[in-house]
Amino acid sequence: MTETNVRVLFVKRPVGWVDETSFAVVHEPLRPPGPADVVVRNVYLSVDPYLRGRMAGAFREGEVMVSRGVGEVVASGHERWKPGDLVWGFLGWEQYSVVARGEGLYRVDPSLGVPISYYLDVLGMPGLTAWVGINVIGRPEPAETVFVSSAAGAVGSIAGQLARLAGARAVGSAGSAEKVRHVLDVLGFDDCFDYKASASLPESVMGACPNGIDVYFENVGGPILEAVLGHMNPLGRIAVCGMISGYNTTQDPGVKGFAHILGKRLTVSGFSIYDHMWRFDAWQPKMAELLTSGRIVYHEEIWEGVERAPEAFIGMLRGDSLGKRVLRVGADPTA
């Protein structure tokens, strides 16, 4: 336990790009837990794009920033948890979090043989998202082509590797030459192009996918989606995991090529990982085995110190990260 708690508060709703003025780092005494509460010493915290949306709505000014984290139980009034247990779930951007009645905490199993930080990404929500999109929705067959947008991202980097494990050809798009190199050289995709440097997205897609696209793992929407729709093969599948386009149809430019869904008998499936949480227990050991055997490679970029969370988050939003960015905010008891 500790006398003081270093915390990152959300203090100002951003307009446009987020900057440091949305956050304040404070040193406060740890709030005394209630009788059934669980106190977690935070070890790893995740910075993710979806937090930007919460800063526009769900988060309240003056409260601590919250994202997924991994930690160690140091005190518990709840029968499910005892000191020394490793957990993951929503935790504050702070050294210690008091979790009311331990709600929303899940168990971390260090015996799976992978870093416990992986519960924030490849063995957590992003990893399962990639798995569902490829192995439940897209279901590529050997020799089919799978196209993944945001191929260097936390989800896309896993999706493409799972496609290759299924025997398919994995092709991606990414937003810089450095990311393209990472996708090709480290992640082992069969092809990848820099969409920001493309003079014609349809031509870039066609060039990278000479046999057409059988499965599209959709992370971005917009012009890449339109280019892909025109290059899908008959009976292709599109797993819609994320889209930049908003819901406000008055500003929505529309998606051209929708009629390809009919003409090519495509199946387009939007999905949310929250519909698939029941898969976690059976899936995590399978994914851990793919990681420990080296068939899936994963790259985390570890930053040190909770007070650097705003900087890490802001830079990630601007696209300066390669692979998943994770903050280490306390000693890892398994390291």
User: Quick check: 58 binds its own copies (CB under 8 A)?
Assistant: no
Q: State which of residues 1, 15, 199, 259 lies at the interface with its own copies (CB under 8 A).
A: 259
Which of 167/263 has CB closer to its own copies?
263
Q: What is the rounded distance in angstroms from the CA atom of residue 291 to the CA atom of residue 243?
A: 28
Q: Are 139 and 131 within 8 A, CB to CB?
A: no
| Contacts of residue 258, Cβ cutoff 8 Å, sequence gap at least 6 | 229
User: Quick check: 266 binds its own copies (CB under 8 A)?
Assistant: yes
Per the document, the length of the chain is 335
Binding mask of the shown chain, residues 203 to 232, with x at each position contacting its own copies by CB under 8 A: ------------------x---xx---x--
Residue 138 CB, nearest distance to its own copies (Å)? 13
Of residues 81 through 140, those in contact with its own copies by CB under 8 A are: none
Rounded to whole angstroms, what are the CA distances from 274 to 62, 120, 124, 157?
A: 28, 15, 12, 20
Residue 298 CB, nearest distance to its own copies (Å)? 25
DSSP 56-74: HTTS-TTSBPEEEEEEEEE
The piece of 175-183, 184-192, 205-213, 234-242 that touches its own copies (CB under 8 A) is: 234-242
Residue 205 CB, nearest distance to its own copies (Å)? 13
Residue 224 CB, nearest distance to its own copies (Å)? 13
Which of 95/135 has CB closer to its own copies?
135
Residue type at 69 in one-letter notation: G
Q: What is the rounded distance in angstroms from the CA atom of residue 208 to the CA atom of residue 180?
A: 13
Q: Are 47 and 312 within 8 A, CB to CB?
A: yes
Q: What is the rounded distance in angstroms from the CA atom of residue 295 to the CA atom of residue 239?
A: 23
Which of 33/223 has CB closer to its own copies?
223
Q: Are 166 and 138 within 8 A, CB to CB?
A: no
User: Quick check: 254 binds its own copies (CB under 8 A)?
Assistant: yes
User: Quick check: 249 binds its own copies (CB under 8 A)?
Assistant: yes
Residue 120 CB, nearest distance to its own copies (Å)? 23
Q: State which of residues 53, 210, 270, 285 lies at the interface with its own copies (CB under 8 A).
A: 270
User: Quick check: 54 binds its own copies (CB under 8 A)?
Assistant: no
Which of 171/229 has CB closer to its own copies?
229
Q: Are 86 and 118 within 8 A, CB to CB?
A: no
Residue 132 CB, nearest distance to its own copies (Å)? 11
| Three-state secondary structure call for residue 294 | coil
Report residue 61 CA to chain centroid gap. Answer: 25
Which residues sit at the interface with its own copies, rule CB under 8 A? Answer: 221, 225-226, 230, 235, 240-243, 245-247, 249, 252-272, 275
